[in-house]
Chain A
Amino acid sequence: AQTVTQSQPEMSVQEAETVTLSCTYDTSESDYYLFWYKQPPSRQMILVIRQEAYKQQNATENRFSVNFQKAAKSFSLKISDSQLGDAAMYFCAFGTYKYIFGTGTRLKVLA
């Protein structure tokens, strides 16, 4: 069975600092996608970053970057220069058509 694990229920980071959210997954597939979504109190799930499993290069989107370790089945999200607006629930997801979500990590940003 395919699973996604987020072992940090809650994380805190000081404004302007860097934080890393962890995600591990289990699958026997070789070609798949991995995603990080952000869900602020406004509720909407917002795509943060996407990684294709066949690409060795780690994806980056402005202040957001991933550390993708395919052999270790690890997909962590690094947020640099954290901002108050980054405070949200972050979900890691695995899938090609049907997503499997992790349980989420609540990120608090301290002013």
Chain B
Amino acid sequence: DTEVTQTPKHLVMGMTNKKSLKCEQHMGHRAMYWYKQKAKKPPELMFVYSYEKLSINESVPSRFSPECPNSSLLNLHLHALQPEDSALYLCASSQDSLGQDEDTDTQYFGPGTRLTVL
């Protein structure tokens, strides 16, 4: 089963709101990723968690706060966002680069959350 789920599918929020995006995988993967994708552009990496620890932060503004409560879950907490933060937010997971299986670095993506900031 190569399924990554994301909730909600759509989210509309004001600039003063606090909201969270959720991502879940049950493939036993130990690396999880957040990407931001603008229309007609490739995904841009935001954060990487490896074995539940933040390993990469691509200089993302602090109004985005990631959290990895356990190896299956990944959250992205949103606060005081700007209209330019409106985008598709994609979650992905992979086995992890420390693994021996040749599938180690293949990332499997969720369906995304379409975020609109008013």
Q: Give every chain B residue within 8 A of A44 (Cβ-Cβ).
A: 109-112
B105–A91 contact, CB under 8 A?
no
A103 and B45 CA atoms in complex are apart in Å by: 14
A37 and B111 CA atoms in complex are apart in Å by: 13
Q: Say which residue of B41, B48, B88, B102 sits within 8 Å of A43 (CB atoms).
A: B88
A-B contact count (CB 8 A): 47
Within 8 A of A (CB), among B86-103: 88, 90, 92, 97, 102
A101 and B37 CA atoms in complex are apart in Å by: 11
Per-residue CB proximity of B19-54 to A under 8 Å, as 1/0?
Answer: 000000000000100000000111101001000000
Q: Say which residue of B48, B92, B97, B114 sits within 8 Å of A96 (CB atoms).
A: B97
15 pairs of residues in contact across A and B, judged by CB atoms under 8 Å = A35-B106, A37-B109, A43-B88, A43-B111, A43-B114, A44-B111, A52-B102, A91-B43, A95-B105, A96-B97, A97-B48, A99-B43, A101-B43, A103-B41, A104-B40
Chain B residues close to A by CB (< 8 Å): 31, 40-43, 45, 48, 56, 88, 90, 92, 97, 102, 105-112, 114
- Further pairs besides A33-B106, A44-B111: 5, Cβ < 8 Å: A35-B106, A44-B109, A45-B109, A96-B105, A99-B43
Chain A residues close to B by CB (< 8 Å): 33, 35, 37, 42-47, 50, 52, 89, 91, 95-99, 101-104
